[in-house]
Structure 1
Amino acid sequence: MNIPALSVSMSRSELGIDLGTALMAKVLDTVEDAGAALEEMIETAVIPGLGENIDIRV
């Protein structure tokens, strides 16, 4: 059994997992920021009084 090669392989694997986890955390932060910005845009786009009166004459 080649212990040094196995150790390097495990180290690379752990590095890949750590990198993937860090990347996903950054993506999650970005998506949360974008969602908050979208929510703020939607709240400011509401026009007061719009839809309060409906003309239902036939």
Structure 2
Amino acid sequence: MDIAALSMAMSQVAVRQQASKQVLSISMDQAKQQGEQMAKMLETSASPHLGGSIDLRA
């Protein structure tokens, strides 16, 4: 394998890694926002006292 082909292959790998990192970062940000929105929704629910405990009977 010549130097030019090796250089191009390494460059392509680097670009793919950067793109993968960006996609992962975006998905992590979205998951964080969804979690924050879910927590906020639960805090402001119409009946916040409901669901605080579970009664179990056998």
Q: Return the TM-score normalized by structure 2.
A: 0.76
Higher relative contact order (CA 8 A, sep 6+): 2
Identity of aligned residues (%): 29
- Structure 2 unaligned residues grouped into runs of 5+: 52-58
Deviations 1:6-31 (A, max 9, x none): 00000000000000001100100011
**Separation in 2 of the partners of 1:20 and 1:5?**
23
Flag the 1:48–1:17 CA change in 2: closer, same or farther, 3 A: closer
Q: Give the number of the structure whose alpha-carbon radius of gyration is greater.
A: 1
The total of aligned residue pairs comes to 51
RMSD: 1.9
